[in-house]
Structure 1
Amino acid sequence: AWYEMVGLSWEETRQNVVEWLHTSGTWDRGGFEESSPEELVDKKRHVYEAGYGWKEKAQAAKRVIERHG
């Protein structure tokens, strides 16, 4: 995940995502069950802690490509 690549802590990641939700207009468009962007991000902390993300998927894809290359 991007936060792993740049070495951000959970607090920094949380702040950046909350800020992005505001500046991108994503939060204003609605459709969220949560009452605030902070609540939404906090509900996703398991993703940060488990290390799910594009980094692992990219590494797996690279291995497949290299095997078939």
Structure 2
Amino acid sequence: MHDSISPELDTKLNRIDVRSEKGIVKFIFDKHYYGIQLDGATGEVLHIDKRRSDVVENIHDGSIIDNYLARAANSN
């Protein structure tokens, strides 16, 4: 991810989603909206993308404001 998007992105995970029936593993990160999808058998990177559905969900449930305020407080 660091070499594909930015070396500055935080690697703290929010969750790992295992889809054994499809043979894939998704890594969802805590501090940004990027996700990585890997082949569960080989570890090959299948997809890296911005998770727009998470942005919409955070707007809907209001957590986007909490995240913004927490970042603002930590930057002081």
Name the TM tier (shorter chain).
under 0.3
Structure with higher Rg: it is 1
Structure with the higher fraction of residues in strand conformation: 2
The alignment's TM-score, normalised by the length of structure 2, stands at: 0.25
The alignment's TM-score, normalised by the length of structure 1, stands at: 0.26
